[in-house]
């Protein structure tokens, strides 16, 4: 997401101002875009595969609800949270506590956690589906063409 530093992002409601939303790369801006962050974040979890599945299903349900409301920004934010579910679960799969580096800056040895790997796979499957969703891709292109 590109930032205009003159805007007050803390109090910006991008549902009311979708023209200010830029898609950005990957998960960029996921924890800044309101009111979506406040709506989606409470459901975002990946501690166990069961919790990850419940979380992924709920966030996807929100994605579909945003679609019904013709709310591309909400759709994209739900997609970003699903993507972030995958990337964060992968990080915790490889490194206990999610930290890749030791305090001295060296890279920790990987300690594979099969439960977190399963959680990551749940989010990855849904993320792959969303990246191929033709309606989502069409809306994304339209948003970018209209607003940049």
Distance CA 62, CA 56 (A): 10
In the predicted model, is pLDDT for residue 95 greater than 90? no
**Shortest CA distance to 73 belongs to which of 109, 23, 27?**
23
Considering only CA atoms, give the Rg of the chain.
16
Confidence of residue 12 (pLDDT cuts 50, 70, 90): confident
Q: What's the mean pLDDT in 87-99?
A: 88
Q: What's the mean pLDDT in 83-87?
A: 97
Q: What's the mean pLDDT in 106-126?
A: 93
Structure confidence at residue 45 (pLDDT): 97
Dihedral sign (CA 12, 14, 19, 23): positive
Tokens of 43: 């459901």
Confidence of residue 8 (pLDDT cuts 50, 70, 90): low
In the predicted model, is pLDDT for residue 138 greater than 60? yes
Structure confidence at residue 109 (pLDDT): 86
Phi-psi region of 112 (alpha: psi -120 to 50; beta: other; left: phi over 0): beta
Tokens of 54: 């419940």
What is the tens place of the pLDDT at every residue in 24-71? 888 888 888 899 999 999 999 999 999 999 999 999 999 999 999 999
């Amino acid at each position: 997401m590109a930032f205009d530093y003159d805007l007050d992002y803390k109090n910006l409601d991008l549902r009311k101002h979708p023209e200010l939303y830029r898609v950005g790369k990957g998960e960029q801006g996921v924890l800044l875009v309101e009111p979506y962050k406040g709506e989606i974040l409470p459901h975002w979890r990946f501690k166990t595969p069961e919790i990850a599945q419940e979380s992924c299903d709920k966030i996807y349900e929100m994605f579909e609800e945003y679609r019904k409301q013709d709310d591309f920004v909400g759709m994209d934010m739900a997609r970003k949270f699903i993507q972030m579910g995958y990337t964060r679960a992968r990080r915790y799969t490889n490194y206990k506590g999610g930290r890749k580096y030791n305090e001295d800056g060296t890279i920790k040895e990987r300690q594979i956690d099969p439960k977190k790997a399963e959680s990551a796979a749940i989010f990855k499957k849904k993320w792959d589906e969303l990246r191929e969703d033709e309606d989502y891709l069409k809306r994304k292109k339209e948003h970018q063409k209209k607003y940049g």
